[in-house]
């Protein structure tokens, strides 16, 4: 998985809600084609913004409680959290430049 580490229901609060920097969470599943398509882009973003942005992946099949809590209805969904709050949401497979332009407003 490289620079985008996995997050689960057990680690979500400590890794996302209590994080000291913005956190981009990729809600994905192994069977999702568009999720696999954007995975290399997310790895690039994780590398390029290391130290300023944390990129995490949450498997929707294994973490239903968080999926329900954040009303994730389709995947891929990318949610940017800052100070424990959702500040940006992208649903679908966006090109890298679109993702970065949305993220830069918050990091």
Q: Determine if the peptide bond prior to 76 is cis (ω within 30°).
A: yes
Does residue 99 contact residue 41 with C-beta atoms inside 8 Å? yes
Closest CA to 66 of 100, 20, 15: 15
Order of strands across the sheet that contains 77-82: 5-6, 54-59, 23-28, 77-82, 85-91
Q: Which residues contact 17 (CB under 8 A, 6 or more apart)?
A: 81, 84
Q: Which residues belong to the active site?
A: 32, 35
């Amino acid at each position: 998985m490289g620079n985008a580490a996995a997050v689960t229901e057990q680690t979500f609060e400590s890794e996302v809600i209590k994080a000291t920097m913005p956190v981009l969470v990729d809600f994905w599943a192994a069977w999702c084609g568009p999720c696999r398509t954007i995975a290399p882009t997310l790895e690039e973003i994780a590398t390029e913004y290391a130290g300023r942005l944390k990129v995490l992946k949450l498997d929707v099949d294994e973490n239903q409680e968080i999926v329900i809590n954040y009303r994730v209805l389709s995947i891929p969904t990318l949610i940017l959290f800052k100070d424990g709050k959702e500040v940006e949401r992208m649903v679908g497979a966006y090109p890298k430049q679109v993702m970065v332009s949305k993220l830069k407003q918050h990091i």
